[in-house]
Chains A and B, each alone.
Chain A
Amino acid sequence: EAQVTQNPRYLITVTGKKLTVTCSQNMNHEYMSWYRQDPGLGLRQIYYSMNVEVTDKGDVPEGYKVSRKEKRNFPLILESPSPNQTSLYFCASSLIGLYNEQFFGPGTRLTVL
């Protein structure tokens, strides 16, 4: 089954404790992206990647890191999480090109205390 998976689905942590949210897709997509969703703000893009070893900042990259060592994986790293990073996070992937559907993962709900 074609899908985007994320782990963990739920995470409660404390300020400053490094964490990684994994994202994996099995569709051989070149493009992958991370979003955060907050009430009233919709989805905002954090980082995206056009291919292996190619990453770029989205609209809200501060406090986040990503890597793309393999085509299928695109982990999101929070080196020192803060409470304002409490949010619902989505990973997405698609083929390169303007008119290709983005497939979304199920989301990771992160709470930083």
Chain B
Amino acid sequence: SQELEQSPQSLIVQEGKNLTINCTSSKTLYGLYWYKQKYGEGLIFLMMLQKGGEEKSHEKITAKLDEKKQQSSLHITASQPSHAGIYLCGAALRGSARQLTFGSGTQLTVLP
């Protein structure tokens, strides 16, 4: 099984709907990163969380890291077709920046 589990694996929503993607680990998450990827292209950095309870927002995307630092959620408000893509969470599970572990990604489709 993956050390970082993302759910759901895929998500299809109607434009304007809210949605949440989760990233769960059995270990403490250090430096939790969220990236977005267009199919077959590079990764675009969205935001990074480091403290338990931390929450960050950028435009209509909000990410939170729970108090125990073992789960993060990414919430998109009023989704748009431009939000479509693959969302990946990554974390330094071993407390070191030397090796980042990534989840398998969530494929988001937004229907106009």
Contact = CB atoms under 8 A, between A and B. Distances in A.
Interface of A: 31, 33, 35, 40-45, 48, 50, 56, 58-59, 88, 90, 94, 96-107, 109
A98 B31 contact: yes
A48 B98 contact: yes
26 contacts: A31-B97, A31-B98, A33-B100, A35-B102, A41-B104, A42-B2, A42-B4, A42-B103, A42-B105, A45-B99, A45-B100, A56-B98, A96-B97, A98-B31, A98-B92, A98-B95, A98-B96, A99-B31, A99-B50, A102-B33, A103-B45, A104-B35, A104-B42, A107-B40, A107-B41, A109-B40
B76 interface: no
B43 A104 contact: yes
Residue from the set A31, A42, A59 with the largest chain B CB neighbour count within 10 Å: A42
A48 to B, nearest CB: 6
Contacts of A43: 88, 90, 102
Interface in B1-36: 2, 4, 30-31, 33, 35
A42 B88 contact: yes
Contacts of B84: none
